[in-house]
Amino acid sequence: MKKLYYLWDDLNASFWFIPILILFFTIGLAIGFIYLDSQIQYSAEGILKYVLPASVESARSLLGIIAGAMIGVAGTVFSITLVVLTLASSQLGSRLVRNFMYDKLNQVVLGTYVASFVYCLLILSSLKENDNFYFVPAFSVLFALASAIAGIILLIVFIHHVSMSIQSDKVISDISDTMSKSIIKLFPEDIGHEEDIPAPDIDSLKQKYNFRDEIKCTKNGYLQSVDGEGLLGIAEQNDCIIILHHRPGDFLVQNMVVCEILCNKECEKDVHEKIHNYFIIGKVRTPLQDAEFSIHQMVEVASRALSPGVNDPYTAIACIDNLTSVMCYLTGVQFSSPFRYDSENNLRLIADNHTFAGMLNAAFNQIRQYAEGSPSVMIRLLEAMISINSFARTGNHRKEIAQHAEMLLKAAERSFKESRDLEDMKKRFRQLEKNN
């Protein structure tokens, strides 16, 4: 089931899936209209004579014009899309190309124009004219005319959409929405204060079991998904403990140890193969189970904005504000324990889970490093720590936030040239200390 979900997510990220669906639907639609025209006898009287084609030649001419126009516009749309992807990759980061590929309107527009071209070709092939018989699919031609008018409207909508989508504020907003949905999905609800769960001693556990086996990666790539429920079932069936060394988002090298198995007897031969089936490894990172994926996208935009060639602190500040919102949410969730137990309360799985400290580091470490020497960005980073600290519920959270604030203050002391800017930093740092 996990693999099917991954396949569906991969199809959604592709640029060809929806256009292909639209194309096949249009082929069926063309066949249906031709059949309808063959069954309906009509006479071009009244207002119909101004709309429906009167002869095979007029129908052929109209369909040829529409087909040529549609394939021409399809080429234009494809060119515009490539330009947008190039701009997004060079200015905002290559990881954002996936977001543009996900854009359903871009896929629908391209699929609609290509499908309209194919539709006109199919209707053209149905036109018949000889001494004894002629066939003019009038309603099919009428639908082609309607689709051409709709295509003009769609082109206007597409141009407006593209002009909006490449604006940095819109890109940041879209990333923020995706990031929030991903974080809420992986950390779904506010479940109060963290509980101090005693962690078993791994070394002691290994001594209790007579047999130890390692599962190694079969290829290079990013770990995209792990089926925890499947691994838990395997561990329960074989009365063993599985220790995971990596989590989704980590890069694996061939023959690298992915997990260990602790058993009292040698596992069955097919256990290795079954465990491998519960890992999905691909060439790129995906947001399927990788909680840091969208955070890294936002960090990449901020880092590029702070580069000497761009020097856009406003974009970086907007990224910091959106990251602050996510981290404030994460202060109110309980990160899942790495220790998973079966129905009889036996330890079966030890996972490599995300922590609040790790998420905080992913969100702000790199931005702090690039922002050194930019007072406005550094001050906003410290303000972000104050905001996150106001939502923090545990001492561990406040401790991690305080460490980031200290690093920011030290960086400011090293790089700020203006004493008043440094005093602003110290003032905010004292405010954070006072709140703690």
Query: Bridge-partner residues for 215, per DSSP?
Result: 259
Name the percent of the chain in helix, strand, coil, to the closest 5. Answer: 65, 10, 25
Cβ proximity of 405 and 385 under 8 Å:
yes
Positions of the chain with pLDDT lower than 70, given as ranges: 1-6, 9, 12-13, 41-51, 54, 91-99, 101, 131-133, 188-199, 201
Residue 2 is predicted with a pLDDT of 59
Tell me the whole-structure pTM to 2 decimals: 0.77
> In whole angstroms, what is the distance from residue 322 CA to residue 341 CA?
36
Domain spans, the chain: 2-166, 202-282, 289-335+354-435
Question: In the prediction, which pLDDT does 194 show?
Answer: 42
Q: Do the beta carbons of residue 342 and residue 348 sit within 8 Å?
A: yes
Q: Tell me which residue has tokens 């096949």.
A: 24
Which of 286, 268, 289 has the alpha carbon at shortest distance from 278? 289
Contacts of 104 (CB under 8 A, 6+ apart): 18
**Which 8-state DSSP code applies to residue 47?**
G
For residue 335, give the nearest of 352, 347, 312 by alpha carbon.
352
Q: Please, are residues 100 and 88 in contact by the beta-carbon 8 Å criterion?
A: yes
CB-CB contact of 168 with 291 (8 Å): no
Please write the tens of the pLDDT for every residue from 134-165: 788 888 888 999 999 999 999 999 988 888 87
Amino acid 188: pLDDT: 63
Return d(Cα 429, Cα 229) in angstroms, integer: 44
In the prediction, which pLDDT does 434 show?
A: 85
Single-letter amino acid, residue 60:
R
Contact 217, 256 (CB under 8 A): yes
Q: What distance lies between CA 391 and its chain's CA centroid?
A: 27
State how far the Cα of 50 lies from the Cα of 45, in Å rounded to an integer. 9
Q: How far is CA 186 from CA 29, 60, 294, 335, in A?
A: 41, 56, 12, 10
Give me 190's structure tokens: 């506010």
For residue 229, what are the contacts with CB-CB under 8 A and spacing of at least 6? none
Q: Which CATH superfamily is domain 202-282 in?
A: Pyrimidine nucleoside phosphorylase-like, C-terminal domain (3.90.1170.30)
**CA dihedral (107, 298, 217, 208) positive or negative:** negative
Q: How are beta strands 347-350 and 241-244 bridged, if at all?
A: parallel
Under DSSP, is residue 303 helix (H, G, I), strand (E, B) or coil?
helix
Longest dimension (CA), the chain: 97
User: What is each CA distance from 217 to 12, 110, 143, 255, 259, in whole angstroms?
Assistant: 27, 39, 55, 5, 9
Count other Cβ atoms within 10 Å, centred on residue 297: 26
DSSP assignment, residue 89? I
